[in-house]
Structures are given as structure tokens and as C-alpha cells.
Amino acid sequence: MTVAGAVAKEQEVLILRSEKSESHLKNKKVVLISGDEEYRSEEALPQLAKILSSQHGFDCVVLFAIHPETGQIDPNVRDNIPGMEHLRDADALVIATRFRDLPDNQMKELDQYLRRGGPVVGLRTATHGFNIPAKKQYSHYGNGYQGDQKFWRGGFGRAILGEKWISHHGAHRQQSTRGVVAGNEKDHPIVRGINAGDIWGPTDVYGVRLPLPGDSRTLVFGQVLSGMQPADPPIDGAKNNPPMPIAWTKSYQLPAGKRGRAFTTTMGSSNDLMSDGLRRLIVQAIYWAVGLEESIPANGLRADIVPPYNPSDFGFQSDEYWSNKNLKPADLLSP
């Protein structure tokens, strides 16, 4: 199945228009915001957009950290993600940013989206998606915010998604993650069709504070494995007793805003997406977020990789690396 694609606005964003005509998804638009230095969201989110577009009928727009002078995708550029105005008519937001300090005009688009209660799906570093200095207008979005605005204590991660940056609970690059569906949530539509062992990734389990806030519902726990292979056994001891949540739902409501749905998973690197179970989890979370959970069949939704997809290993890269890579949004379209 092919993906109809177009690059818009001076090649700063990637637009994937669906060739399907699913009646329940007619005109549904998903905006996916990448922008992290470590976990290759600039690879993961275009792949996810291709799955959503070609297999499910969503129209998708992928945004990137763009170098303002070269127009290249450059995750080390923390203060520029063009195309945020696409949120104005979005039906869902998928976000995988890390410690961004965006200008007020870009943050305003996100703020207005949240004020109308737009659905949010946060991946991996979205729990610490922003780091904005205290004197700026949207400083309350910053990770660990402790200012006067009570709702925003902890920043975007805590207020909207349910947790901010806490810790690497598993040993980074030494202990991988196996997802275990919570026994009391096995019938939740987001985990339909996901069986034992379906969710695995090389990223480590993140630490969170228990219990998660408000009406949070843990759907998947993360077993800390003893090594970096799917069949490695879980480690013994306190790190798996109790296990950390790695996927949950909650609601949010900004002061004077409308209530919205949020889903968070602390997995989500580009190579985590090689896991069929994780891809299905995220796709079904998007269906749930936009209120289409009744459309998820008992055996789960399709979430096949759209080739070619050869994700890079996670890790930080130099400015020179990104300059030499010379990656543009158009390069991420299927051939």
C-alpha cells in the first residue's frame, strides 16, 4: 500500500494524505511533533505517520526541529519547530520532543490546542518535552516547573501526560524493556490484540512516581530485563517489585479550558518501533484518544511497518553529524 505524500511550506513539514476513505476517519488529522536529540523521533514519527495514513486513513502532518539557516532536520536545534499552526485543525497530537525551548509564537499554537482539550499521545521524552526559562511566557511548560501556576507544577509532562522526567529506572543501554499488560486492564481497547511478549524495546524503563496523578490508569507495566534481547529474563529485586508503568491514560483540563484525553508511553525510540506490539499500542491509543475505541477489533488493529524502515540506534549526535547528513523532510517520503 502506498502513501500519498507532499512536502509543504518550504519543505519544513511532511504531509501524508490518506488514500483510504474510511467513513469513521473521514477528515481526521493527526499532527506528529518530533524534536529530541537522543531517541530519533525524526525517524519514528514519519514511520508512524505512514502507518496511520496508509493503513488507517488518517491525514498526517509531521513536524521537525529545523535548522533555520539550512532548512535541514537538526534535533540539536532546540528553539525551532516550524508548522505548529497545523494544530489549529488537528484531531490528535502525537508528541516526542525533549527539552525544547520554542519561541512564543510556536508555543501559543500548542497552548491553544490544549485549551480546546485536543487529544495528546506522548512518547518517551515527551514527559520532559520542554525546558523554558523562567522569564518567558510559556515557562510553565518547562520540565519540573515549580512556579505560581498550581496546575502546571511539574510542567507539561506532569500536568498533561502524568509525569515529568524522574530517572532511568533500568540501566541505560544495559537493560531493555518488556511490556506486560496490566491484569485488570486486559480488556481495555488500547491493549486489544496485544499478547505476552509482544512489546519489547532496547530503551530502558523510565522511573515514575507512584501512584500516577489524577485519573491515570496504568495499561502496561515495564519489566526491566537483564540484557538487551527480547528473551532475556527480568532482573531480580526491587526494580521489578513493584514494576514501573510504561503506558497509561489520563485526562487533563487547563484552567478555563476543555477536558481532553491523554495517553503516554515512556517507550518510543525509532528502534523501539520495530516492536509490533508497541506499534499497535500507539495506533490504538490514537484511536482511543479521538474517541474511536469502538472501532478497535478484539484482535487489535493493523500496525505493519511501511518499508523501507531501517531505524538508527538511539544516542546523541554532533552538530557536524546533522550538517553532513543533510536530511530534509522530503527525504522521509516512501520512494
Cα(105)–Cα(109) distance, integer angstroms: 7
Cα(182)–Cα(188) distance, integer angstroms: 10
Residue with grid cell 513493584, as numbered in its chain: 242
pLDDT score for 4: 43
Q: Which of the two residues, 21 and 326, has the higher pLDDT score? A: 326
pLDDT score for 21: 59
Domain borders along the chain are 4-168+245-332
pLDDT score for 10: 44
Mean pLDDT of the chain, nearest integer: 94
pLDDT at 8 over 50: no
Banded model confidence at residue 334, pLDDT cuts 50, 70, 90: low
pLDDT score for 148: 96
Banded model confidence at residue 20, pLDDT cuts 50, 70, 90: low
pLDDT score for 17: 84
Phi and psi dihedrals of 180, rounded to 5? Answer: -125, 115
Q: Could you read off the pLDDT of 221-266 as tens digits, one per residue?
A: 999 999 999 999 999 999 999 999 999 999 999 999 999 999 999 9
pLDDT score for 6: 42
pLDDT at 98 over 80: yes
Would you say domain 4-168+245-332 falls under CATH 3.40.50?
yes
CB 316 within 8 Å of CB 38: yes
The SS3 assignment for 63 reads strand
Longest dimension (CA), the chain: 53
pLDDT score for 5: 45
pLDDT score for 2: 36
* Rg (alpha carbons) of the chain, rounded to whole number: 18
The SS3 assignment for 317 reads coil
Banded model confidence at residue 3, pLDDT cuts 50, 70, 90: very low
Cα(282)–Cα(158) distance, integer angstroms: 20
Task: Quote the cell numbers at residue 318.
Answer: 554532533
Residue with grid cell 538487551, as numbered in its chain: 228
The 10 Å CB-count burial string (b at 16+, else e) for 45-79 is bbbbbbbbbbbbbbbbbbbbbbbeeeebbbbebbe
Q: Could you read off the pLDDT of 106-157 as tens digits, one per residue?
A: 999 999 999 999 999 999 999 999 999 999 999 999 999 999 999 999 999 9
Mean pLDDT calculated for residue range 69-84: 97
pLDDT score for 95: 99
pLDDT score for 249: 98
| Distance linking the first and last C-alpha atoms of the chain | 12
